[in-house]
């Protein structure tokens, strides 16, 4: 696994590492790895592959990505379970990561890039994520990035009572923001989206007012807080737009604009870099939500410890499960080799019994099938045991010794 997250990377690093065309990335990666999955959220971009760390590093360098963290082996499995459980999230205990993992999994499957091992990893991760939330209180009253943005706005303004707030974006994050706002005693909630019908749907759910995208400047002027979270690949709010908007927010006698709290939780960013320099604009990004997480983490530290204990208990089972899948792959070569021999010898036997009846042919088929299975049963047991105990190379050597008769497959000490 390779990538970046909020722990060590800021917004600019995440934006540089992000893959705008996920489908194209998966199509390219599947040519190099048995399986691949790409997880991209607002504060995390990670690539999971069935392959070596060296190969993944080389591939990402070829893709123009230089700065990233790399994990391999058991560390990947543990990290994957921590991510699914929500204990590695910026907002500890948030539930949105499970949906994001499922969407990444589905995208891998649709691209034909999801191997058996990747599939097992995702099944296990989602299962553990659900179990952790059932067995602990890590998500009890939890906040998402969206509701954390609302909490930040409330802290900045002391109260949201009587305020006007504009939400730009009606996707999953926009829904979370709107739901958090609906619980506040606001004078007005405006919802804007490039597709007006989606803005209407979200506004209807929370008792807000849908806004056409071409009316944004007017509602910027009316609002005390703007929270933006679109999925646009480029900034939709520029310094020029804000400079023009702030002219309409000037106090009659002062000449200075009424302050505007602008919170950008989109990834990539919705607001042009440097927009906070416009007079009266107080710009905040995902990086500013780290303080919300620190407060949240203090309240959940005990639950996070319980979640960690559950994950550690699952690690051994996870490893055994993946080694079992590896055993199936290794044994596949043995069974393919044996079946080819069985079919060849069956045909030779039937040819020698000129004009043998279908009944006789069926008996010969059953006999060769049973003999093949019985002859391989001890070898199969030994190979599977090696693989399940993590000795994959030894299992492969056993198969090579049987199918190729190559004694050099064994180490001298064997």
- Give the alpha-carbon dihedral of 60, 64, 67, 73, to 10 degrees: 0
Alpha-carbon span 169 to 259, nearest angstrom: 22
Assign 188 to helix, strand or coil.
Answer: strand
Instruction: Give the single-character DSSP code of 69.
Output: E
CA–CA separation, 131 vs 100, rounded Å?
Answer: 17
CB 2 within 8 A of CB 60: yes
Q: How many CB atoms are closer than 10 A to CB 111?
A: 20
What's the alpha-carbon Rg for the chain, to the nearest Å?
Answer: 29
Round to whole Å and give the CA distance between 45 and 43. Answer: 7
Separation CA 134–CA 156 (nearest Å): 34
Contacts of 195 (CB under 8 A, 6+ apart): 170
Structural contact between residues 106 and 61, judged by C-beta atoms closer than 8 angstroms: no
Count of C-beta atoms within a 10 Å radius of residue 357: 9
Strands of the sheet with 35-41, listed across from one edge:
35-41, 44-50, 2-5, 69-70
Place of tokens 């939890």: 142
Find the catalytic residue in 42, 114, 229, 386.
42
Residue 42 a catalytic site member: yes
- The residues that are catalytic are 42
């Amino acid at each position: 696994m390779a990538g970046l997250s909020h722990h060590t990377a800021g917004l600019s690093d995440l934006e540089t590492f992000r893959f705008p065309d996920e489908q194209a990335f998966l199509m390219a990666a599947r040519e190099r790895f048995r399986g691949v999955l790409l997880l991209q959220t607002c504060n995390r971009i990670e690539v999971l592959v069935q392959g070596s760390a060296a190969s993944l590093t080389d591939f990402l360098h070829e893709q123009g990505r230089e700065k990233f963290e790399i994990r391999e082996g058991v560390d990947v499995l543990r990290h994957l379970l921590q991510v699914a459980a929500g204990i590695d999230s910026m907002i500890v205990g948030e539930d949105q990561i499970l949906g994001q993992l499922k969407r990444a999994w589905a995208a891998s499957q649709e691209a034909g890039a999801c191997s058996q091992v990747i599939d097992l990893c995702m099944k296990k991760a989602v299962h553990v994520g659900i179990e952790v939330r059932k067995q602990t209180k890590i998500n009890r009253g939890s906040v998402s990035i969206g509701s954390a943005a609302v909490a930040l706005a409330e802290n900045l303004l002391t109260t949201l009572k009587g305020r006007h707030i504009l939400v730009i974006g009606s996707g999953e994050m926009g829904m979370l923001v709107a739901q958090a706002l609906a619980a506040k005693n606001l004078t007005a909630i405006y919802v804007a989206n490039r597709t007006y019908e989606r803005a209407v749907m979200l506004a209807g759910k929370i008792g807000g007012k849908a806004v056409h995208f071409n009316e944004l400047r007017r509602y910027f002027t009316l609002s005390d807080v703007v929270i933006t979270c679109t999925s646009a690949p480029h900034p939709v709010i520029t310094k020029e737009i804000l400079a023009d908007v702030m002219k309409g927010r000037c106090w009659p006698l002062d000449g200075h604009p009424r302050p505007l709290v602008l919170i950008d939780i989109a990834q990539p960013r919705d607001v042009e870099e440097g927009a906070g320099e416009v007079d009266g604009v107080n710009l905040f990004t995902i990086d500013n939500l780290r303080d919300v997480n620190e407060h949240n983490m203090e309240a959940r530290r005990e639950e996070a410890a319980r979640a960690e204990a559950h994950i550690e208990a699952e690690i051994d089972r996870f490893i055994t499960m993946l080694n079992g899948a590896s055993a199936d792959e290794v044994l596949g070569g043995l069974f393919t080799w044996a079946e080819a021999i069985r079919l060849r010898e069956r045909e030779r036997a039937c040819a020698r019994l000129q004009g043998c009846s279908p009944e006789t042919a069926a008996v010969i088929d059953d006999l060769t099938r049973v003999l093949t299975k019985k002859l391989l049963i001890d070898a199969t047991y030994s190979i599977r045991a090696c693989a399940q105990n993590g000795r994959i190379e030894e299992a492969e050597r056993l198969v090579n010794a049987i199918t190729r008769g190559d004694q050099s497959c064994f180490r001298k000490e064997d």
